[in-house]
A and B are shown apart, each in its own frame.
Chain A
Amino acid sequence: MATEKMSDPTELRKQFIETLYGTLEGVISPTPYLEIVEGDKVDVTFLDGRGRLPRPKATEITVLDIDIASLFFDNFNILYEGVTGVGKTYTSDALFDTIFGSDGHYTVRLTGGILGSSVLEPFTVSALEHGIPKTRIDQTKCKRYGALFIDEINRGDTQEVFQVVDGVIRVNGDTGRLGVPIQGTDRYKKLVIIAAMNPADAQHSGALELDLAGENRFLKFRFPNGVGEAASSQLDKKMRGSLHDKFWTEFEKRTGISGGWREHYPAITDPQQFAQTLDGQTREFMDVALGYVGYDPKETCTRNAELMTQGGVTSQLAVRVDNDYKKIIETQGTLKHGFVRRDLEKISNTARLLSFIKGIKDGTYDTAVRLNDVAAGIGIVLESKTVQGSGYGALMTLVNAARKAYHELREGLNVPEEYGVRQAIAQAAINAGTEHGFAAYVNTLQRSVAQMNTPASTAAQAAIKSRVLADLVVLDHFSKAHETDVTSALREKDGALDALAEVYSKKKAKGSVYEHRLDFLR
C-alpha cells in the first residue's frame, strides 16, 4: 500500500486508468474497433471486431478503451450503434459498476410512445399534488449519478434527450443541473452518458434513425460484433463480486487515497487537468482534408480557384473527371448529410479521444493531439454519417489519400513538424518583412504561391493544395488591403507576429472570407 497520498494529477489519472483496466480484465473481452498504424504514412483501419496481429507502430483501440477515455471528456458523449447482443450494454454496465457502484449509475431503456419510459426518469419524482400526479425534479437525484446509459436512444423524446445530454433539465418550471461537484471547486463533473441504438435497418424495423440534431450531440461509433472472433473466451468473462469495491481498494493501495468515487472521481477525470490544443499542422489538416473527403474535390478546387482569381492568381489546379474521381463521388454519396459546423467539433473531439487512448496504450499518458489522430477522427466521423449498409471503411481510404497528399505538400516545402504550411509561410513572410520590409513580406507569400501553383496529379493533391493556395492568396490580399497596418506590424520586429495577429483580429470583419480563411493567423 502506498504510504503517502499521491497528489500529482497525471500520476493519479494513470493509476486510476491502470486500476480500471486491471479490474475489468477478467470481466470484459476486448472488442477491437480500430487500428491506427503510424509512420511516414498513417493507415487507419476499422477492425469490426476482428483484431490483427500486433505490429510495430500499430495501436489497436477497443470499445473499452473508448468507454474509459470518454470518462475524461465533458464536452461529448459516446453513442454506439450495433445489433442486439454484441455487448453494448454489458461493457458500459461493467465499467460504470466498477467506478460508481450499482447506486452511482443508471440505465434507462427508452421505449417510445405516450406511455413509454422517459430519459428524465432517473432525475425526477412523481407525487400527488392536490390529488393530481405531478412530476418534479429531484435535485438530490440530479447529483446522485456519475453515469447514465441510455439504451435505444432513438426511441425517446428528442427534446428530453437533448436536455439530459446538455446537462440541464427542465420539468414543470423546475430546473435541475446534472453532475457531481468537483471537490475544492465550484465546478461540476458532467454526467457521463453512453448511449446505444440498434441500426435503423430492415432487421430492426422498430428502430428509427436518430435525427440530425441528436446525432450531432454524440460521437457515434458502430459497435463491432466481436462475438464470432472472441468465441468461447467470452464465456468466462463475467462480473464477479463487487467490482466497485475491488477497484477502489486497489486504487487506495496504489495511491494512498481512500474514500468513495464522489470524492475522487470528479477531480481525477476533470478535463481541465490536461490541455489538448491542436497544433498548427493538425488544425490545418482538418481545414484542407475536408475539401477532399467531405465535399466534391472538383467543387473545392473551383471555389478556391475563384478566390485565387479574385486575388489576381490563375489556379493551375484541376480535378480530372476520370474513374478515380467517379469513385470519390460514389463514396461520398454514402454520406447521409453534408458536413455541418458541429462535425468539425466532432472530429476534434474524436481526435482528442484517440490521442488520449494512445497515451494510455503507450504508457506515456501524453494527451497531445497529433495529425494522425485527426486523420482517424475524420474517418470515424465520416463513417458515422454514412447510410447503413454502405461500404465500411471506404471513406477512410479518402482520408488516407488526403493524409498522403498533405504529407507530400509539407515535404515539398520542408515545413517543420507541428506547424501548418500556411502558418510556416506566413511566419517566413513576417520574418522576411521585418528584415527587408513589406515588399519582402509580400514577395515571400507570392513566391510560395508560385511554387505551389503547379498542376496536381491526384484529386487529393489538387483539393488540398488549392485550399492552401487560396488561403495564402487571401492573406496576400488582406495584407495589401491593410498595408499600412501590416507595415507597422512588421516594424515591431520580435513582436511582429503578435502585432500581425492583432491587425487580423481588428480587420477581419472587413470580409467574411478573411475570418474563414485566415484563422491560422490567430
Chain B
Amino acid sequence: MKRIPRNLIQHLEWKPQDGAFPTPPTSPAPQPAQTLLSIDNLINHGRSFYNTDTDSDGKAIGVTQSLKQAMEHGTVASLPYLIAGKAQAATENYLWQSWFSASEEHVGIDKEGRFGTAGKPVVVVVHGFRLLTPDRIMQAYADGLTPQGAAKLTETEFGHLLEGKLPSDESIQLYTVDQAKDNLRDPFGNYAVIVDFELAKAQNGYATKDKFLKNPLVLARSGVNIALSTYFDKAKNTDGKVGNHHRLAEIDPQQPQGRVLFVYDNYNGLIGNNNLYINGRFVGVAPEARVARK
C-alpha cells in the first residue's frame, strides 16, 4: 500500500479527545483495559493539582486554577476514569487519599424535546470536553452564581449542548443512559450522558449497592462504568452504602446552570451539590502516559 503523507489524512484519525461516537456496536462492549487512557497510567502516573486560591473577597476559586493546571499537564481525568481507577487501585494509592474534582453537570430545559418531551428539564453530565472551562467559571463568578451555587448558563449555551456543540466549536456526542450502555466506545473519553430531570432528582444521598448501581444519575456520572460495582464495594460505609449527592430538588431548572462534580475518598461517593466557589483538585494524566493497552 502506497504511503499517504499523514498531514493529508490526519482529519480521518480518531484521537482520544474526540471521545465516543455514535455507532452501532461492532464488537463486544469495551473493557476498561481496552481504552486509550489506561487505568495503570492513572494509578501510577496521574497527578493531582490541588489549589486553594481565593478572590479579592476571600472566596475560594481554586477550582479554576486546579483545572487550568491539570489541563496544561495533559488529559483531565473524568469521573468515570477516576471511578475505574479507584476500583483498581490499592487503598494506599493517591486515588483513595483525597477527594477530587472531575466532570461537570448541567441542568436546563430540553425545549425541542430532543431527548424526551419538549419543554421538560434534563440533566446533562459532561465527561472530558468542558463547557465549564477556567475562563467560563471566572465569567460565572462575575455573572453571579445561582442561589444553589451553580454557574448560570445562557439559553444558547445549553441549547447548543443539547445539539452536541460546545463553545470551543468542538462537538460532543450525547447518549441517554441506555444508549451509553450499548454504544459507548471509550468510557474515559469525551461524551455526555443525559438523564430525565425528575428521574435524576428522585434519589439523593446514600444508597445501598442495588439502588446505587441502578440509579440513572449515578450511571450518567460514572459513564455506565463496569467498574462501578467494585468501586462501590471499596467505598461503602459500614451500613453498606455509598453517597450520590445533588441539589436538584432545590434548583430552578428553567435557569440553565452547571456545576463541577467531585468524587470523595470514602463512602460520601459522588458529589454534585458543591458551590462553585470551592477549592479544586483535578487529576491530570500526562500525554506520555497515554498508552494503549499492552
Contacts and interface: CB of A to CB of B under 8 A. Distances in A.
Interface of A: 279-280, 311-314, 413-416, 418-419, 423-429, 431-433, 436-440, 442-444, 446-450, 453, 473, 476, 480, 487, 490, 497, 501, 520-522
Contacts of B27: 312, 442, 476, 480
B10 A428 contact: yes
A275 to B, nearest CB: 13
A427 B21 contact: no
Contact of B292 (A413, A438, A497): A438
Given A424-B9, A424-B12, A425-B12, A440 B2 contact: no
B293 interface: yes
A436 B1 contact: no
Given A313-B24, A437-B36, A443-B186, A427 B4 contact: yes
A416 B22 CA distance: 25
Contact of A311 (B18, B26, B186): B26
Given A312-B24, A427-B1, A447-B23, 16 more contacts: A423-B1, A424-B4, A424-B9, A427-B4, A427-B9, A429-B14, A431-B13, A436-B290, A437-B292, A438-B292, A440-B16, A440-B292, A444-B12, A446-B21, A453-B23, A480-B27
A443 B36 CA distance: 10
A418 to B, nearest CB: 8
Nearest to B2: A280
Contact of B1 (A414, A490, A520): A520
A450 B186 contact: no
18 contacts: A280-B2, A312-B24, A415-B9, A416-B4, A423-B2, A428-B10, A431-B6, A431-B13, A437-B36, A438-B34, A439-B36, A443-B14, A446-B185, A447-B14, A450-B23, A520-B1, A521-B1, A522-B1
Given A446-B23, A476-B26, A427 B14 contact: no
A490 B6 CA distance: 15
B14 A440 contact: yes
B34 to A, nearest CB: 5
B119 interface: no
Q: Size band of the B side of the interface?
A: 20 to 34
B22 to A, nearest CB: 6
B11 interface: yes
Nearest to A433: B292
B3 A427 contact: yes
A414 B23 CA distance: 21
Contact of A426 (B1, B5, B290): B1
Contacts of B10: 428, 431
B15 interface: yes
A501 B292 contact: no
Given A439-B36, A447-B18, A501-B1, A428 B9 contact: yes
Given A416-B4, A416-B8, A436 B24 contact: no
A508 to B, nearest CB: 14
Interface of B: 1-6, 8-16, 18, 21-27, 30, 34-36, 185-186, 290-293
Contact of A438 (B16, B185, B293): B293
Contacts of A446: 21, 23, 26, 185
A425 B30 CA distance: 22
Contacts of B36: 436-437, 439-440, 443
B175 to A, nearest CB: 14
B233 to A, nearest CB: 27
Given A311-B26, A443-B186, A476-B26, A280 B1 contact: yes
Contact of B291 (A279, A423, A428, A437): A437
B181 to A, nearest CB: 16
A476 B23 CA distance: 13
A413 B26 CA distance: 21
Contacts of B186: 439, 443
Contacts of A314: 24
A421 to B, nearest CB: 9
Contacts of B9: 415-416, 419, 424-425, 427-428, 431
A442 B25 CA distance: 12
B26 A414 contact: no
Contacts of A427: 1, 3-4, 9
Instruction: Name the residue in B1, B10, B34 with the highest tally of chain A Cβ atoms < 10 Å from its Cβ.
Output: B1
A450 B186 CA distance: 15
Contacts of A480: 27
Nearest to A421: B12
A448 to B, nearest CB: 6
A385 B244 CA distance: 71
Nearest to B185: A443
Contacts of A431: 6, 9-10, 13
A439 B24 contact: no
Contacts of A487: 292-293
A424 B12 CA distance: 8
Contacts of A439: 30, 34-36, 186, 292-293
B26 A313 contact: yes
Contacts of A521: 1
Contacts of A497: 1, 3
Contacts of B11: 414
A507 B193 CA distance: 40
Contacts of B292: 433, 436-440, 487, 490
Contacts of B3: 427, 497
B16 A436 contact: yes
Nearest to B291: A437
Contacts of A450: 21-23
Nearest to B5: A416
A420 B189 CA distance: 30
Given A419-B4, A427-B1, A413 B12 contact: yes
